[in-house]
């Protein structure tokens, strides 16, 4: 049972939330309690799994790396065993974004955790990092740059208060660069310079835009920034990361000559191997972006996940803002999308129990699909459902995971004409049954509003079982709306092709 604070005056007060971050270098878990509008961490665990080090030249995760991850998750699973699944969120980052066999690992991990794992895009990772950092800083209006060097990617965010204004994720990280430049553990000047040059090349894509925006303060987050700050502090350069301190640290690492020989107070043995690559990347960031000094924040991705979850509890879901922005950007017919949304949700209310669609996820996803299924009309009317699907799957949608975007795209793709069997087969197996049914409900709503009229529909009754739908109208209504009857009869043929029987009365 979820532990509750007896003094709570709301359903949210006292609630426990858990966030699990499957990073390329480390796996993290934080459990926190919602108290007085704030999150109070009560347990934090971190393990150096180095999942990213298990990616081979074909971007396949090795069995050894998978086992390291699964063993870690078995320990995490025990910590959250008593929490309801809705209070837990698990995300994967760059290593799982890159791994071609990620579905194999994810399936095994989900069996341990009993909860879906969400692989998030780089910019979504950046947004969540910023959210975690912002909640650890003073609430002022100054613009700040947040830099998060991870195992496989580095995120750059410019924002003020709790709002990110620019988000980027670059393919460079302390694990991937260690494999590339320091695989044998040796630390030489030429290897450090090559790593720094490679990072500088990556930074060329953002350098001009970021320097043009400018910022008042720079914040580093996560393990690499923490280790570099600790090393600079131990060497007498103060508690900020500076270019002078980084340069001195680089020379000190060259003196050690090998990762195994690194002896710096506060640097854990597990961090030694990836420290040279982290220093090289950080030097390139300082020089490319003109940074003079960087502070450190304890907030990072996992804290951002918690605050994002807490926001959803308070109905402050960033995904709602994303959907509104999409509608505005692609000039969606607001009246039509509202009509289709209302009808789709009305049909869902009648089918949800019989079809097992009672989770709030299904309500939200059907609602968002109804509001965005016509965004492809901006590109072309012909095959616009395919354009809508492409935009939903491949755009940066803050708040949405890769899987959520895939599911939204499937609903948009399948809302008219033949049911998209090929796209359906690509959906996660545990989502296929539910999303086929959601797609059917969206299709019916679209058919019922084909005329794009503002006139209200009559009272429609939907009764469903596993493979059939019975749609009933008031006596005589269909006779006065022959186009709707013809469209429904045509829809019955489409559904028959996927073994669903639609009966109209």
Q: What is the pLDDT of residue 7?
A: 36
Predicted TM-score (pTM) of the model is 0.79
Q: What is the pLDDT of residue 34?
A: 83
Residues 76-114 have pLDDT tens digits of: 999 999 999 889 999 999 999 999 999 999 999 999 999
Q: Which CATH architecture has domain 16-120+305-310?
A: 2-Layer Sandwich (3.30)
Q: What is the pLDDT of residue 9?
A: 36
Q: What is the pLDDT of residue 2?
A: 32
457: closest CA among 428, 436, 488?
Answer: 488
Q: What is the pLDDT of residue 32?
A: 93
Q: What is the pLDDT of residue 12?
A: 52
Tokens representing 244?
């002078």
Q: What is the pLDDT of residue 38?
A: 74
Residues 314-357 have pLDDT tens digits of: 767 788 989 999 999 999 999 999 999 999 999 999 999 999 99
Instruction: List all residues 6 or more positions away from 437 whose beta carbon is below 8 Å from its beta carbon.
Output: 351, 355, 357
> What are the respective helix, strand and coil percentages of the chain, to the nearest 5?
55, 15, 30
Q: What is the pLDDT of residue 84?
A: 92
The CATH number of the domain covering residues in 137-297 = 3.30.420.150
All residue ranges of the chain with pLDDT < 50 are 1-11
Same fold, 137-297 and 317-457: no
Q: What is the pLDDT of residue 40?
A: 87
Q: Under CATH, what is the fold of the domain 317-457?
A: Hypothetical protein af1432 (1.10.3210)
Residues 149-197 have pLDDT tens digits of: 999 999 999 999 888 999 999 999 999 999 999 999 999 999 999 999 9
Give domain limits for the chain: 16-120+305-310, 137-297, 317-457
């Amino acid at each position: 049972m979820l532990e509750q604070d007896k003094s709570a005056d709301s359903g949210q007060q006292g609630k426990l939330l858990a966030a699990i971050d499957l990073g390329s270098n480390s796996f993290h878990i934080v459990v926190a309690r919602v108290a007085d509008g704030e999150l109070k961490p009560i347990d934090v665990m971190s393990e150096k799994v180095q999942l990213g080090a298990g990616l081979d030249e074909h971007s396949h995760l090795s069995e050894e790396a998978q086992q390291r991850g699964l063993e870690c998750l078995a320990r995490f699973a025990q910590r959250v065993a008593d929490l309801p699944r809705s209070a837990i969120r698990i995300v994967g980052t760059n290593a799982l974004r890159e791994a071609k066999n990620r579905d194999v690992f994810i399936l095994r991990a989900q069996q341990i955790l009993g909860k879906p794992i969400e692989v998030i895009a780089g910019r979504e990772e950046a947004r969540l990092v910023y959210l975690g950092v912002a909640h650890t800083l003073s609430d002022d209006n100054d613009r700040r740059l947040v830099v998060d060097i991870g195992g496989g990617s580095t995120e750059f965010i410019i924002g003020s208060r709790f709002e990110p204004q620019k988000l980027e994720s670059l393919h460079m990280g302390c694990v991937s660069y260690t494999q590339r430049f320091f695989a044998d553990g040796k630390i030489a000047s030429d290897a450090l310079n090559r790593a720094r040059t490679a990072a500088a090349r990556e930074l060329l894509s953002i350098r001009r835009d970021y320097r043009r925006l400018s910022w008042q303060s720079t914040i580093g987050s996560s393990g690499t920034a923490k280790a570099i700050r600790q090393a600079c502090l131990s060497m007498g350069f103060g508690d900020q990361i500076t270019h002078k301190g980084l340069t001195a640290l680089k020379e000190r690492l060259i003196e050690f000559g090998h990762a195994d020989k690194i002896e710096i107070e506060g640097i854990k043995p597990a961090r030694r191997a990836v420290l040279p690559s982290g220093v090289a990347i950080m030097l390139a960031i300082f020089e490319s972006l003109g940074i003079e000094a960087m502070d450190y924040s304890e907030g990072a991705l996992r804290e951002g996940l918690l605050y994002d979850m807490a926001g959803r509890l308070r109905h402050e879901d960033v995904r709602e803002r994303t959907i509104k922005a999409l509608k505005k950007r692609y000039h969606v017919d607001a009246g039509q999308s509202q009509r289709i949304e209302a009808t789709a949700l009305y049909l869902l209310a009648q089918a949800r129990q019989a079809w097992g669609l009672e989770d709030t996820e299904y309500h939200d996803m059907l609602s968002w699909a109804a509001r965005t299924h016509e965004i492809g009309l901006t590109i072309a009317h012909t095959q616009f459902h395919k354009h809508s699907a492409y935009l939903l799957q491949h755009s940066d949608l803050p708040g949405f995971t890769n899987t959520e975007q895939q599911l939204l795209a499937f609903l948009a793709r399948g809302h008219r004409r033949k049911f998209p069997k090929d796209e359906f087969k690509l959906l996660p197996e545990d989502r296929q049954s539910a999303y086929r049914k959601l797609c059917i409900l969206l299709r019916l709503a679209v058919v019922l509003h084909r005329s794009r009229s503002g006139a209200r529909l009559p009272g429609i009754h939907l009764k469903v079982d596993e493979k059939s739908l019975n749609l009933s109208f008031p006596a005589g209504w269909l006779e006065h709306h022959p186009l709707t009857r013809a469209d429904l009869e045509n829809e019955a043929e489409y559904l028959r092709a996927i073994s669903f029987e639609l009966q109209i009365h």
